[in-house]
Amino acid sequence: MSMNSQEMVELCKKHTLFTWAKSGGVSPLPIARASGIHFWTPDGKRFIDWNSQLMCTNIGHGHPRVLEAMKAAVDDYPLYTFPASATEPRARLGERLAGLFPDDINTFFFTLGGAEANENAIKFARMYTGKHKILARYRSYHGATNLCMQLTGDPRRWANEPGSPGVVHVMDPQPYEYSFGQTDAERTENNLRYLEEVITYEGAQNIAAMIIEPVTGTNGILPPPEGYLQGLRALLDKHGILLICDEVMAGFGRTGKWFAFEHGGITPDIVTMAKGLTSGYVPLGAVALTDRIAAHFQDNVFWGGLTYNSHAFGCATALAVIDVMEEEDLPGRARALQPVVERHMAELADKHPCFKASRSIGLFGILDLQKDSKGTPTASYNGASEAMGAMNAHLRERGLFTFLRWSHVMCNPPLIITEEQLAEGYEIIDEGLSKVDAYFEG
């Protein structure tokens, strides 16, 4: 009954479409099985999952504790109930999540993924405040649905315009080229001053919320400068604007804490999550609301609904994933491995002229590559290059799966990874950077 790699790829290309690509030109990676930090093609080639698929599989592939819980859920619970029903997994997951969040976040709306969570977060913010405008950042990614594409700041938005109205984009504290300053203090102060002027132009009385990734994900793995989250929280409070934190990618231990906003010592008004909530094993997302927002919807209708809202199988899977994360202290593991990652990156920086910069927080990391000593990116914004193509080919040949985007190399392995496995992955990257060095222009 099993297919070989060629059969799998040919049938997928013949009858299905692929995301963010001309489907006629894609070269999909066939995957037959996975375990721990590895997966295999049907023909037996092993890959290190250096990106946790899409920053999802935080507990690794095929964790036996979770697989056992999923099998039990099929026997113990109805496979589908309508969204106005109550089920034990729904009840238990809401209670469990309340224990992970700050004391004034106790209410959750369950979706099937991150984009749905962000769509509904905007609905909650607009209905609660009676205002319509939303501030979002240019280096953000918030999903591929109609509204979320407009929240997204990166170039994937362009082909999807015009879309839902009311979104106002602003620059991040660390824009792609423009600089708000050389130190964390300068970047924080200058960006927040600029943001307040934008608020003046748009009218605070019109702005319902600002949505951010507390650590920007696919557009650069950008931890915020020191003091930024606290300053942003205070600025938005001053103007009566809600703060939505999109934790879809950074949440559930990835940054060394359960949620990335915790690094700033703040509590958002609304939090969205998915991916790590079930480690990607089944689709599930959620919107978390502070008590004051949740109280509003005790007396006011929330005009939104989803066929698969609070799906019992997804909720049961999430409960098992949280059990594993707590018992194995995977947020703590990510935190403890950050210095190991930084050491490997420092060694690469000393060795390779193409190495421009690196960033990491927990096991959320990235390499930026350059084509000359002036710091010119190896590939331009929204572009590609022969050098990055050579790097990509090397990684696939050597069995290391990750994403290369523009001049970036993503480094986001499952949180269960060992120091020895990290060393193996960085050795493969080391070899690949030698190939990129050949394109360095001096």
Provide the CATH number for the domain around residue 161: 3.40.640.10
pLDDT, tens digit, for every residue of 56-102? Answer: 999 999 999 999 999 999 999 999 999 999 999 999 999 999 999 99
Query: Does residue 383 sit in helix, strand or coil?
Result: coil
Q: Are 203 and 123 in contact (CB under 8 A)?
A: no
Q: Which of 268, 294, 327 is the last residue of a domain?
A: 327
pLDDT, tens digit, for every residue of 45-61? Answer: 999 999 999 999 999 99
Whether 174 and 311 map to the same domain: the answer is: yes
For residue 54, being part of any structural domain is answered with no
Whether 111 and 98 map to the same domain: the answer is: yes
For residue 369, being part of any structural domain is answered with yes
Q: Domain limits at 339? A: 330-437
Whether 278 and 363 map to the same domain: the answer is: no
Whether 269 and 387 map to the same domain: the answer is: no
Whether 306 and 381 map to the same domain: the answer is: no
Picking from 298, 208, 213, 333, the residue whose alpha carbon sits closest to that of residue 261 is: 213
Whether 311 and 342 map to the same domain: the answer is: no
Whether 270 and 349 map to the same domain: the answer is: no
Give the contacts of 91 (CB within 8 A, at least 6 positions apart): none
Q: Reading across the β-sheet that carries 270-273, which strands appear in turn?
A: 105-111, 285-290, 270-273, 242-246, 207-212, 133-137, 167-170
Peptide bond into 64 cis (omega under 30): no
What is the overall mean pLDDT for the chain? Answer: 97
For residue 25, being part of any structural domain is answered with no
What CA–CA distance (Å, rounded) separates 222 from 139?
9
Residue 287 pLDDT: 98
Residue 262 has φ and ψ, to the nearest 5°, of: -65, -25
Q: What is the DSSP letter of 308?
A: T
Whether 315 and 334 map to the same domain: the answer is: no
Q: How many CA atoms lie within 13 A of 288 on its CB side?
A: 30
Average pLDDT of span 351-379: 97
What CA–CA distance (Å, rounded) separates 64 from 188?
44
What CA–CA distance (Å, rounded) separates 294 from 297?
5
pLDDT, tens digit, for every residue of 379-420? Answer: 999 999 999 999 999 999 999 999 999 999 999 999 999 999
End-to-end CA distance of the chain: 54
Question: What CATH number should be reported for the domain holding residue 339?
Answer: 3.90.1150.10
Which residue matches tokens 């066929």?
307
Residue 1 has pLDDT above 70, yes or no: no
Number of domains in the chain: 2
Structure tokens belonging to residue 232: 């942003």
Structure tokens belonging to residue 266: 């703040």
For residue 124, being part of any structural domain is answered with yes
Q: Which of 297, 327, 357 is the last residue of a domain?
A: 327
Q: Which of 327, 356, 380 is the last residue of a domain?
A: 327
Whether 238 and 366 map to the same domain: the answer is: no
Q: What is the pTM of this model?
A: 0.97
Which residues is 139 bridged to in the sheet? Answer: none
For residue 58, being part of any structural domain is answered with no
pLDDT, tens digit, for every residue of 137-188? Answer: 999 999 999 999 999 999 999 999 999 999 999 999 999 999 999 999 999 9
Residue 11 has pLDDT above 90, yes or no: yes
Residue 189 has φ and ψ, to the nearest 5°, of: -60, -50
Query: Does residue 230 sit in helix, strand or coil?
Result: helix
For residue 24, being part of any structural domain is answered with no
Whether 237 and 374 map to the same domain: the answer is: no
Q: What is the DSSP letter of 224?
A: P
**442: pLDDT confidence band, cut at 50, 70 and 90?**
confident
For residue 308, being part of any structural domain is answered with yes
Whether 318 and 337 map to the same domain: the answer is: no
Q: Are 222 and 359 in contact (CB under 8 A)?
A: yes
For residue 37, being part of any structural domain is answered with no
Give the contacts of 268 (CB within 8 A, at least 6 positions apart): 233, 243, 244, 245, 261, 290
Whether 128 and 267 map to the same domain: the answer is: yes
Residue 2 pLDDT: 87
Give the contacts of 400 (CB within 8 A, at least 6 positions apart): 47, 48, 50, 425, 428, 429
Which bin fits 179, alpha (ψ -120 to 50), beta or left (φ > 0)?
Answer: beta
pLDDT, tens digit, for every residue of 306-356? Answer: 999 999 999 999 999 999 999 999 999 999 999 999 999 999 999 999 999
Structure tokens belonging to residue 424: 């193996």
What CA–CA distance (Å, rounded) separates 84 from 307?
10
pLDDT, tens digit, for every residue of 255-264? Answer: 999 999 999 9
